[in-house]
A and B are shown apart, each in its own frame.
Chain A
Amino acid sequence: MDIDRIDQIIDRHQCEASSLIQILLDIQSENHWLSKEALTRVGEKLQVPFTRIQHIATFYKAFSLVPKGRHEVHICVGTACHVRGATRILDTVKDVTGIMPGETDMDLKFSLETVNCLGCCALGPVVEIDGKVHGKMSPGETADVLKNYE
């Protein structure tokens, strides 16, 4: 992500220090992570100390300080999904993508996370990819769905 694009995002929020979190969220969703250059730029433009930006960027789980894949896969391992076989789903995803929860693959294609409840237990086991919920998944279906992502 280049500086011009970051500046555009900052300008969209009128360069307001009170919009700091919103700006970081916008950069995160477009770029999938917050680079040091991006954070430094935001700090300069908004006149917010880097210590504060760093605290916020490390406080919320929505932000990542390392590059994330183009597709974010969330596997629910909450109680309901667990009893309905989330472990086998997770194993399948690990096999297909070659990564463990918390990791991103070398091609920056997938990032994998486990979550503790997505709020739709009746659909368990649930896999969420880029915000789209796939319910009542079997290991086979999960592998097929993952094939659709580039």
Chain B
Amino acid sequence: MSDFHLEIDGNKVGVKEGETILEAAQQAGIYIPTLCHHEKLEPFGGCRMCIVEVESRGRTKLVVSCVYPAEAGLVVRTRSEKIDRIRKTILELLMAHAPDSPPLVALAKEYGANKDQFEKESSFCIHCGLCVRYCEEVKKNYAVGFVDRGVRKEISFIPEIAAKVCNDCKECFPLCPTSYLQATFVLTESLAFPTVP
């Protein structure tokens, strides 16, 4: 049962009150690329990959589909020259940090992004927050969090908590687009609670 309808790429799509454009699209089988979205987590809007064009009352604007609530009568376009250009630049910026990340490599192919466009700054983490938010929202373990800000922002495990819970969980590992999470965990483990072989 849907409350109202909107149009995505020319298809009439039914949505329920409170759903985002991304959710509406996914239910209708329309693909929008995402990096920081996860169905079990609260909308985050961190990566901007899911940007789309919406038209309402004759005006077009760019919105972030994973946080933008669907409205009756919206006309949504998931691809256009402008959208593709924005996604390409986002990818190129992220690839300065994580040039070999499989999801980035796949999307780069689709959008013609050049991983060498910007000078490399191999910090690997792309700040999608999937690990931090999953640990918080789903597992309620709070074993990993962000520290610092801006270009120095990075993830950090709390050794006391990680020592107790992580080895039996590791559910965040497959979520990380870059393996940086695993690397950080192994480093924390070897420094703070090494397991004797």
Contacts and interface: CB of A to CB of B under 8 A. Distances in A.
Given A54-B156, A54-B158, A49 B142 contact: yes
Contacts of B142: 49-52
Contacts of B135: 51
Nearest to B150: A59
B136 A49 contact: yes
Interface in A43-62: 49-52, 54-55, 58-59
B144 interface: yes
A50 B159 CA distance: 11
A109 B145 CA distance: 33
Contacts of A52: 142, 145
Interface residues of A, number: 8
Interface string B131-172: 010011000001111111100000010100100000000000
Contacts, number: 30
Contact of A51 (B136, B148, B149): B136
Nearest to A60: B149
Nearest to A65: B147
For chain B, give the interface size range: 10 to 19
Contacts of B158: 50-51, 54
Contacts of B132: 51
A50 to B, nearest CB: 5
A43 B135 CA distance: 17
The binding surface of chain B is classed by DSSP as mixed
Would you call the interface of chain A mostly helix, strand, loop, or mixed?
helix
Contact of A55 (B143, B147, B161): B147
A57 to B, nearest CB: 8
Contacts of A58: 147-149
A84 B40 CA distance: 57
Contacts of B145: 49-52, 54-55
A49 B157 CA distance: 12
A54 B142 CA distance: 11
Nearest to B154: A58
Nearest to A43: B142
Interface string A82-95: 00000000000000
B136 A59 contact: no
B149 A59 contact: yes
Contacts of A54: 145, 147, 156, 158
Nearest to B157: A51
Q: Name the residue among A50, A52, A58, A59 with the largest chain B CB count within 10 angstroms.
A: A58
B161 A50 contact: yes
13 contacts: A49-B136, A50-B142, A50-B161, A51-B136, A51-B142, A51-B144, A51-B145, A52-B142, A52-B145, A54-B145, A54-B156, A55-B145, A58-B149
Given A58-B148, A59-B149, 12 more contacts: A49-B142, A50-B161, A51-B132, A51-B142, A51-B143, A51-B146, A52-B145, A54-B145, A54-B156, A54-B158, A55-B147, A59-B148
Nearest 3 CB-CB pairs, A to B?
A51-B145, A49-B142, A58-B147
